[in-house]
Protein backbone atom coordinates (compact mmCIF):
# COMPACT_ATOMS: atom_id res chain seq x y z
CA UNK A 1 0.00 0.00 0.00
CA UNK A 2 1.41 3.43 -0.81
CA UNK A 3 1.84 5.82 2.06
CA UNK A 4 2.72 9.48 2.59
CA UNK A 5 5.99 10.67 4.15
CA UNK A 6 4.36 10.35 7.56
CA UNK A 7 3.56 6.69 6.82
CA UNK A 8 -0.18 7.40 6.50
CA UNK A 9 -1.98 5.36 3.80
CA UNK A 10 -2.88 7.54 0.81
CA UNK A 11 -6.47 6.31 0.98
CA UNK A 12 -6.96 8.38 4.17
CA UNK A 13 -8.86 11.66 3.56
CA UNK A 14 -6.64 14.70 3.22
CA UNK A 15 -8.25 16.56 6.12
CA UNK A 16 -7.38 13.64 8.40
CA UNK A 17 -3.84 13.38 7.02
CA UNK A 18 -3.22 17.06 7.75
CA UNK A 19 -4.36 16.70 11.37
CA UNK A 20 -2.25 13.59 12.10
CA UNK A 21 1.38 14.15 13.01
CA UNK A 22 2.39 10.48 12.93
CA UNK A 23 1.24 6.89 12.90
CA UNK A 24 1.66 5.38 16.36
CA UNK A 25 0.51 1.80 15.65
CA UNK A 26 -0.04 0.67 12.08
CA UNK A 27 -2.81 -1.61 10.85
CA UNK A 28 -0.64 -4.71 10.56
CA UNK A 29 0.72 -4.40 14.11
CA UNK A 30 -2.79 -3.85 15.50
CA UNK A 31 -4.21 -6.86 13.67
CA UNK A 32 -1.34 -9.16 14.67
CA UNK A 33 -1.76 -8.30 18.36
CA UNK A 34 -5.55 -8.70 18.20
CA UNK A 35 -5.12 -12.17 16.67
CA UNK A 36 -2.93 -13.12 19.64
CA UNK A 37 -5.48 -11.75 22.11
CA UNK A 38 -8.29 -13.67 20.40
CA UNK A 39 -6.28 -16.90 20.48
CA UNK A 40 -5.62 -16.46 24.22
CA UNK A 41 -9.31 -15.76 24.95
CA UNK A 42 -10.37 -18.74 22.82
CA UNK A 43 -8.10 -21.04 24.86
CA UNK A 44 -9.41 -19.72 28.19
CA UNK A 45 -13.11 -19.73 27.27
CA UNK A 46 -13.30 -22.75 24.98
CA UNK A 47 -16.33 -24.44 26.60
CA UNK A 48 -17.72 -21.43 28.44
CA UNK A 49 -19.83 -19.76 25.74
CA UNK A 50 -18.84 -16.25 26.95
CA UNK A 51 -20.68 -12.97 26.36
CA UNK A 52 -18.48 -10.20 24.95
CA UNK A 53 -19.76 -6.85 26.19
CA UNK A 54 -18.67 -3.51 24.73
CA UNK A 55 -19.50 0.15 25.18
CA UNK A 56 -20.32 2.04 21.98
CA UNK A 57 -18.85 3.60 19.95
CA UNK A 58 -15.09 3.53 20.42
CA UNK A 59 -14.94 -0.25 20.75
CA UNK A 60 -16.60 -0.93 17.38
CA UNK A 61 -13.50 -1.79 15.35
CA UNK A 62 -11.73 -3.66 18.13
CA UNK A 63 -14.84 -5.69 18.94
CA UNK A 64 -15.36 -6.71 15.32
CA UNK A 65 -11.76 -7.83 14.85
CA UNK A 66 -11.47 -9.49 18.27
CA UNK A 67 -14.67 -11.47 17.68
CA UNK A 68 -13.32 -12.79 14.39
CA UNK A 69 -10.02 -13.68 16.08
CA UNK A 70 -11.86 -15.74 18.75
CA UNK A 71 -13.16 -18.88 16.99
CA UNK A 72 -15.37 -20.36 19.75
CA UNK A 73 -19.13 -20.20 20.43
CA UNK A 74 -19.88 -16.81 22.03
CA UNK A 75 -22.44 -14.01 22.19
CA UNK A 76 -21.94 -10.27 21.85
CA UNK A 77 -23.84 -7.33 23.27
CA UNK A 78 -23.40 -3.57 23.61
CA UNK A 79 -24.20 -0.77 26.01
CA UNK A 80 -24.26 2.98 25.48
CA UNK A 81 -23.49 5.54 28.12
CA UNK A 82 -23.66 9.31 28.53
CA UNK A 83 -22.14 11.58 31.13
CA UNK A 84 -24.45 13.37 33.54
CA UNK A 85 -22.02 16.30 33.72
CA UNK A 86 -18.25 16.80 33.56
CA UNK A 87 -18.02 16.67 37.37
CA UNK A 88 -20.10 13.48 37.58
CA UNK A 89 -17.88 11.98 34.91
CA UNK A 90 -14.82 12.84 36.99
CA UNK A 91 -16.22 10.53 39.66
CA UNK A 92 -16.98 7.81 37.12
CA UNK A 93 -20.79 8.16 37.23
CA UNK A 94 -22.41 7.64 33.87
CA UNK A 95 -25.97 7.27 32.68
CA UNK A 96 -26.81 4.07 30.79
CA UNK A 97 -28.60 5.15 27.60
CA UNK A 98 -28.74 1.63 26.16
CA UNK A 99 -28.50 -1.38 28.44
CA UNK A 100 -27.57 -4.95 27.52
CA UNK A 101 -30.20 -7.07 25.78
CA UNK A 102 -28.67 -10.32 27.05
CA UNK A 103 -29.09 -11.43 30.68
CA UNK A 104 -25.56 -12.02 32.00
CA UNK A 105 -26.54 -13.78 35.24
CA UNK A 106 -24.46 -16.96 35.46
CA UNK A 107 -22.64 -16.17 32.18
CA UNK A 108 -18.92 -15.69 31.63
CA UNK A 109 -18.50 -12.05 30.62
CA UNK A 110 -15.55 -10.58 28.72
CA UNK A 111 -15.78 -6.80 28.95
CA UNK A 112 -14.17 -5.44 25.80
CA UNK A 113 -12.76 -1.92 26.11
CA UNK A 114 -10.99 0.26 23.55
CA UNK A 115 -8.85 2.31 25.89
CA UNK A 116 -8.42 2.59 29.65
CA UNK A 117 -7.39 6.05 30.71
CA UNK A 118 -8.36 7.03 34.28
CA UNK A 119 -10.29 3.77 34.56
CA UNK A 120 -13.20 5.59 36.23
CA UNK A 121 -15.85 4.74 33.63
CA UNK A 122 -14.71 1.14 33.43
CA UNK A 123 -14.65 0.83 37.22
CA UNK A 124 -18.23 2.07 37.46
CA UNK A 125 -19.48 -0.25 34.72
CA UNK A 126 -17.74 -3.32 36.16
CA UNK A 127 -19.33 -2.62 39.54
CA UNK A 128 -22.73 -2.37 37.86
CA UNK A 129 -22.27 -5.61 35.89
CA UNK A 130 -21.11 -7.46 39.03
CA UNK A 131 -24.49 -6.75 40.68
CA UNK A 132 -26.00 -8.95 37.93
CA UNK A 133 -23.99 -11.94 39.23
CA UNK A 134 -22.16 -13.16 36.13
CA UNK A 135 -20.23 -16.45 36.56
CA UNK A 136 -17.05 -14.45 35.82
CA UNK A 137 -16.10 -10.98 34.60
CA UNK A 138 -12.77 -10.16 32.94
CA UNK A 139 -11.53 -7.21 30.87
CA UNK A 140 -9.95 -7.27 27.42
CA UNK A 141 -8.58 -3.81 26.57
CA UNK A 142 -6.80 -2.83 23.39
CA UNK A 143 -4.98 0.16 24.88
CA UNK A 144 -3.93 1.12 28.37
CA UNK A 145 -2.57 4.49 29.51
CA UNK A 146 -1.37 3.48 32.98
CA UNK A 147 0.05 6.92 33.81
CA UNK A 148 -3.49 8.33 34.06
CA UNK A 149 -4.98 5.57 36.20
CA UNK A 150 -7.03 6.74 39.20
CA UNK A 151 -8.42 3.36 40.23
CA UNK A 152 -6.81 -0.05 40.31
CA UNK A 153 -7.93 -2.00 37.24
CA UNK A 154 -5.68 -4.40 35.39
CA UNK A 155 -7.13 -5.90 32.21
CA UNK A 156 -6.61 -9.68 31.96
CA UNK A 157 -6.02 -9.30 28.20
CA UNK A 158 -4.17 -6.21 26.97
CA UNK A 159 -3.12 -5.14 23.50
CA UNK A 160 -0.73 -2.24 24.01
CA UNK A 161 0.49 0.16 26.65
CA UNK A 162 0.28 3.74 25.39
CA UNK A 163 2.26 6.77 26.46
CA UNK A 164 0.40 9.77 27.84
CA UNK A 165 -0.73 11.20 24.51
CA UNK A 166 -4.10 11.64 22.86
CA UNK A 167 -4.58 9.19 20.00
CA UNK A 168 -7.23 8.75 17.31
CA UNK A 169 -8.22 6.12 14.79
CA UNK A 170 -9.33 2.50 14.85
CA UNK A 171 -12.60 3.54 16.54
CA UNK A 172 -11.14 6.29 18.73
CA UNK A 173 -12.37 9.77 17.95
CA UNK A 174 -11.62 13.41 18.41
CA UNK A 175 -14.94 15.26 18.27
CA UNK A 176 -16.49 12.26 16.47
CA UNK A 177 -13.88 12.37 13.68
CA UNK A 178 -11.04 9.96 12.80
CA UNK A 179 -12.80 6.76 13.93
CA UNK A 180 -12.66 5.32 10.41
CA UNK A 181 -8.90 5.01 10.10
CA UNK A 182 -7.47 1.47 10.25
CA UNK A 183 -4.42 2.61 12.28
CA UNK A 184 -3.84 4.64 15.44
CA UNK A 185 -2.34 8.08 15.00
CA UNK A 186 -1.25 11.08 17.02
CA UNK A 187 -2.91 14.45 16.45
CA UNK A 188 -0.92 17.60 15.82
CA UNK A 189 -0.23 19.63 18.99
CA UNK A 190 -2.70 22.35 17.83
CA UNK A 191 -5.58 19.90 18.01
CA UNK A 192 -4.43 18.58 21.39
CA UNK A 193 -4.07 22.08 22.77
CA UNK A 194 -7.63 22.77 21.78
CA UNK A 195 -8.72 19.69 23.70
CA UNK A 196 -6.84 20.68 26.84
CA UNK A 197 -8.38 24.15 26.75
CA UNK A 198 -11.78 22.51 26.70
CA UNK A 199 -10.92 20.30 29.65
CA UNK A 200 -9.69 23.20 31.77
CA UNK A 201 -12.80 25.27 31.10
CA UNK A 202 -14.93 25.48 34.29
CA UNK A 203 -18.11 23.41 34.13
Is position 126 an interface residue for ligand IMP (rule: CB under 6 A)? no
Catalytic residue flag (residue 173): no
Options 50, 58, 119, 171; binder of Mg ion; rule CB under 5 A: 58
Number of residues engaging ligand IMP in binding (CB under 6 A):
14
Nearer to ligand IMP, 45 or 183 (CB): 183
Alpha carbon 153 to its chain centroid, in Å, reads 14
With respect to ligand IMP, which residue has the nearer C-beta, 9 or 146?
146
Neighbours of 157 (CB within 10 A): 18
**Strand, helix or coil for residue 59:** coil
CB proximity list for 22: less than 8 A, separation 6 or greater: 6, 7, 185, 186
**How far apart, in whole angstroms, are the C-alpha atoms of residue 7 and residue 174?**
20
Using CB under 5 A as the binding rule, the residues of this chain from 78 to 117 that contact Mg ion are: 114
Residue 122 has φ and ψ, to the nearest 5°, of: -60, -45
24 vs 51 by CB, closer to ligand IMP = 24
Instruction: Tell me if 167 contacts ligand IMP by CB under 6 A.
Output: yes
For residue 122, the partner it binds in Mg ion, ligand IMP, none, with Cβ less than 5 to 8 A by kind, is ligand IMP
Annotated catalytic residue: which of 90, 117, 190, 197? Answer: 117
Which CB sits closer to Mg ion, 8 or 187?
A: 187
Backbone angles phi, psi at 160, to 5 degrees: -145, 140
CB atoms within 10 A of CB 181: 24
User: Residue 79's beta-bridge partner residues?
Assistant: 55
Residues in 65-124 at the binding interface with ligand IMP, rule: CB under 6 A: 114-122
* Binding site residues, ligand IMP, CB under 6 A: 58, 114-122, 166-168, 172
Catalytic residue annotation: 117
Amino acid sequence: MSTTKKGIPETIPETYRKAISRVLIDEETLQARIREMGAAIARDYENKNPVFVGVLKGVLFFMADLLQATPIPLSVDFMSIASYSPSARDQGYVRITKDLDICIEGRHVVFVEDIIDTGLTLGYLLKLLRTRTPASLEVAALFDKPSHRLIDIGPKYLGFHLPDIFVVGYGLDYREQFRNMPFVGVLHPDAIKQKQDERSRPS
